Each structure stands twice: as C-alpha cells, then as structure tokens.
Structure 1
Amino acid sequence: MLLSWKNKKIRKAVIPAAGFGTRFLPETKAMPKEMLPIVDKPTIQYIVEEILASGIQKILIISGHAKRAIEDHFDSSPELEQHLEESGKEDLLAQIRKISDIKVHYVRQPYMRGLGDAILCAKEFIDDEPFGVILGDDVVYTGDGEPALKQLMDRYYETGSTVIGCQVVPEDKVSSYGIIQGEETENPDMLRVLDMIEKPSIKEAPSRFAALGRYVITPDVFDILEMTRPGKGGEIQLTDALRVMAHAEKVYAYNFKGKRYDTGNKLGYLKAMVEFALRREDLGDQFREYLKNLKV
C-alpha cells in the first residue's frame, strides 16, 4: 500500500526549544538558552537561517516556560524600527525587518517529558508529511557548502526513508553520544540503521557514527511515539521511537559535512563564540590579534 506521505516534498521543520537550559543557570532563569548570542545573533536564529537556506519556509518552534523572548525576537518591533529609521541606521533596520519577515509558528510543550514528547506536539502542524528537525542549541557551520539539514533532505529524496544526522567522532568521544549500529551502504557516508546504543564504552561501540541533533523524519513516527512508554525521568525519547522504526523499516544515518557546535554546554558555546567571531570580516582580524597577545 502506498503511504500517503510518499513522494511529498519536505516543506516543514520543527525546532524543539522547550528545555530549561539548566547548564546555563542563572542566566537561563529568565532568558531562553536558545537566545544566548553567538557574537550578536541569537543561537536559534542560526538554526532558523539553516532551515530557510535548506528551502523550507514553514517553521514550528516547540516552546515552553519562559520562552517568550524567542517569540518577541521573530516578531515585528515598530518602535525599534521607527527609531532606526529616524536615526538613519538603514543597515540595522533592514536586518530587523528581515528577521520579522520570517514566518514562525509556535506550540507549547506543557510538561518537560522529553524530546519525543516535544515532537509529538508538532503532529497537527506536520499533518502527515515528512519533516526536518533541528535541536535548538545545535549549530553547524558549513561555510559555502550545503546546509546540514539540506544534506539530510537530499538523502531522504534518494531513499524515501528517515535520515538521522550524524558525524564520525573520535573513539574517546563515543561514550558521550548515541551511537549508530548499522550496515554499510553504497555511500561510504551513510549507514542503514539497525539499532542505536546510548553512550556505549569504546569496546561496546558498534561504530563511530554519533547522532548529532538533525533529522529528517517520516510522519509514521507519530504513531510510534504515541505508543512509546515514558522511560527514565518520565520522558518519552525520540531515540526509542527511531529504534522501533529501524526494526520495522529502513532508517539511515548520514555523516553530514560541517563543523558542529553544541551550544547547550558551556565549552561548546564558548568555542562557537570565538570561532564565529574570527570568521567575521568586521571583527576577525582585530579579535585574532587580541587573542595572540592575550595574557591571562
């Protein structure tokens, strides 16, 4: 039987952004971690821009407690726009208007019950279509190359199956991630997923393909999530649903190209801040010189 979502284009993407951000307390007591700036742009704006650059226009942010700042950021700001216009700051005005032109939808996750539960909140928005997912604190720099999500979308169009975004990590890092157990395909950068093992030891790790915060998922995941029982901490995990899918149908893991920053932890955030600043034409040279002469 032909599934109703087969041959449909990927038109929608979901950003789960409802977590408390406890690793950045006390800053995140009132400020969403997704709004922490990388130089002068909120982390979540990098995520949204990747989605738009991948050709997706319909974006849903899964929000939660104390996340109003995210909605305000993508909303219009008439007073600020008027001030910038009167001050002759045309470049800044254009940037602000470009942000508010982005069409973002929101749904609230009432309780923090895991990533799987957050994805379930998107069921009505997705409406039986394949869709992209990017975690709200996971930034990937690809320079002039294809956005990471677009790379996964291309693999979806080749296979018609769910694709998990991965990167090959060093052996001493496998115990920090969910690791793919899979079989090789004709593409050396892609595995067919047989199972996923959460934070294995080096000896137990079946590969070095680590799942890293990007997915293209078929809508049959919602039926599986609705049947998935809460695990540790009462949370419904997306990984558990993907494992069920992998046992029932083809699911792939793709080693996407690009430098990934986990801005959800302090060291990853600091690395992103420094490296994005060094890439800036207006800051890079001066900042590089400052770092060379820095004595602490």
Structure 2
Amino acid sequence: MTTPIRKAVFPVAGLGTRFLPATKSVPKEMLTVVDRPVLQHVVDEAREAGIEHFIFVTGRNKAVIEDHFDIAYELQDTLLKRNKIKEYDALIADLPKPGATSFTRQQAPLGLGHAVWCARDIVGHEPFAVLLPDMITLKDDGKGRCLAQCIAAYNKHGGNIIATEEVPADETHQYGVVGLGKDYGDTFEITGMVEKPAKGTAPSNLIISGRYVLGPEIFEILEHGEKGAGGEIQLTDGMKTLAESQAFHGVRFSGRTFDCGSKLGFLAANVAFALANPEIGPGFAADLKKIVGTL
C-alpha cells in the first residue's frame, strides 16, 4: 500500500524578469489568467488532486502571495454589506483551511532543486508533490488535471512519478527529456533523464512538464548534490541520482499545459481558459473571431 500524497511544494521565489515591468511590484505568480492568478490555478489543481497541505517556497517581495491565501476581513465584510453573495462565496471557497499553508524562504536563487530542498522540514519523511507555478494545466477528458493523473499513477506503481508531454522531435533540445522503458499505455517506466539534449540525441519526444511525485529521500540527495547547469542545484540531477535506487514512472498527461513563464504561453493560457469559461466563453469567442479576422 502506498503512503497518501498529502503535501505539495510550490517553488515561487523566481524574479519573473521576462515579464518586466509588470513584475516589478507584482510577483509573476500573481499575474492573472482570466480572473484568477496563475498560482491560484496551480493550487486549484493540487486541491482537486487531494492535496491537504500547501507549501510555498518564497523569496523577497512575495508577501502578497501569503496575503492572497489569507482571510481579507475588510473585503469580505464589504461584499456582505453590498449583498455580493456570489463573490463572497467564491472568496471563501478558495481559502485553504486553517493551518493548511506553510511559507518558507529560499533566500538565494540557487535553483529549483535548492527551492525544493528548502521545504524539507515541512514535508518531513513522506512522499510529496511538486508543482511548478509557471505551468498551468487544462484537462480535456474525465481523467482530471495533471497532478491527479500523477497521483493515480503513484497509487498504481508507487515510487516516483514525473508528468510528461509530447513535443515535436525538433524541439526536444529545449527541454528535459525522459527515456522510455516498459510501456503501460498512460504510464511507462523511465529509463533515463536528459536536460536539454543536443539536437538529434534525445531518447524520446516526451518532455518533463512540471509536475512530480517524489520520495523524501530526494532531500538528502539535493543537500549534498553538486551544482549543475547555471551554477544551480538542479532538481533533474537529484532525480537522476534517486533513480539509481528507486523506480521512476512517467505519465502521459492527456490535457494541455501552458507555460505562463513565457509571454506566448501566458497569452495562450488566457485564450484557452477564457474559451473554456462557460460565462464568458461564447462572447469571447465571438470577439476573438473579429480580431483574428482583421489579421
């Protein structure tokens, strides 16, 4: 029997330089896709997957993230006095339960692996999830969003899980790529991981897409790991070491992922989520047709 995945780590200490000047005073994770911050979309996905404790690894000038996941007394009181019950109920529904959030500082930009390691004492000795806050997912079937599919795979196989997506073979050099072993259809054994392989050398066209389920042994590996690409402690390097003693399986995510760390991905996410919104989707689609028709 597998140990339930109760906790998730969200590395949110990045500077967001690709979105300057918008991110000069607003964290990139709080930029909105339609009417919800990018980070809220990611937390929604984790909650839907059954996560109970949300661990945010932050940095300087990120206090607004902590405020976002807290009660806003004045706002809630104003909504009630103005009889805006729908808006009030939406705020309450998004609030984590008391004690369900933790915040810790990374303090120095030493890489994704270091950010995950900073959550070690809060996670403790149990398997946990990692969700990259730049990546938001949209399901296209009844299987749930990406982390739910990862946890289903974990419940089936145990061990460690990495979400993957297919990309054209000529784009694999831009990503971390996994090697395929025994194939189970939606899931498969991972035989190796390569970060940004040279063109023509990738072991597959399946890239690592920002959702992980990892055993707590990763923390000791990250603590003693050498700095990798960019002089940073890389999570992929830590996973490759962990794979020497523990099984890794991949999930072929059946929905769509949007990289909101890039301007094109952020804009595409706004379009996709707006079209999927039942309240504004039809009207937005009509306006979009008019705009596209002028190109």
Once the two structures are superposed, the pairs formed by residues 87-236 of structure 1 within 5 Å of their partners are: 87-102=82-97, 103-143=100-140, 144-185=142-183, 187-236=184-233
SS in 2 for 1:247: coil
User: Structure 2 regions of 5+ residues with no counterpart?
Assistant: none
SS in 1 for 2:200: coil
Query: Is the CA contact 2:160–2:246 (under 8 Å) kept in the aligned structure 1?
Result: no
Distance 1:261 1:101 in 2: 24
Which amino acid letter does the alignment assign opposite residue 179 of structure 2? Answer: Q
- The answer on 1:271 being equivalent to 2:268 is yes
SS in 2 for 1:50: helix
Alpha-carbon deviations, 1:229-263, whole Å to 9, x = none? 11233310000011111223211222122111011
Query: Is the CA contact 1:195–1:247 (under 8 Å) kept in the aligned structure 2?
Result: no
Q: CA deviation at 1:70?
A: 0.8
Distance 2:148 2:274 in 1: 25
Q: Tell me the residue number matched to 1:77.
A: 72
Distance 1:8 1:279 in 2: 35
Alpha-carbon deviations, 1:47-102, whole Å to 9, x = none? 11111111111110111111111111111111111111111110001111222344
Aligned counterpart in structure 1 of residue 284 of structure 2, from 287, 290, 293 = 287
Distance 1:127 1:278 in 2: 40
Q: Which deviates further from its counterpart, 245-254 or 131-140?
A: 245-254
Aligned counterpart in structure 1 of residue 250 of structure 2, from 208, 230, 253 = 253
- The answer on 1:19 being equivalent to 2:17 is no
User: Structure 1 regions of 5+ residues with no counterpart?
Assistant: 1-5
Query: Is the CA contact 2:8–2:55 (under 8 Å) kept in the aligned structure 1?
Result: yes
TM-score normalized by structure 2? 0.94
Which amino acid letter does the alignment assign opposite residue 161 of structure 1? Answer: G
Query: Is the CA contact 1:61–1:106 (under 8 Å) kept in the aligned structure 2?
Result: yes
Distance 1:46 1:7 in 2: 27
Q: Tell me the residue number matched to 1:3.
A: none
Query: Is the CA contact 2:170–2:199 (under 8 Å) kept in the aligned structure 1?
Result: yes
Query: Is the CA contact 1:194–1:247 (under 8 Å) kept in the aligned structure 2?
Result: no
Distance 2:204 2:215 in 1: 24
- The answer on 1:41 being equivalent to 2:39 is no
Q: Which deviates further from its counterpart, 62-71 or 260-269?
A: 62-71
Q: CA deviation at 1:202?
A: 4.0
Query: Is the CA contact 1:115–1:237 (under 8 Å) kept in the aligned structure 2?
Result: yes
- Would you identify which runs of 4 or more consecutive aligned residues in structure 1 move more than 4 Å? none
Q: Tell me the residue number matched to 2:58.
A: 63
Q: Which deviates further from its counterpart, 206-215 or 272-281?
A: 272-281
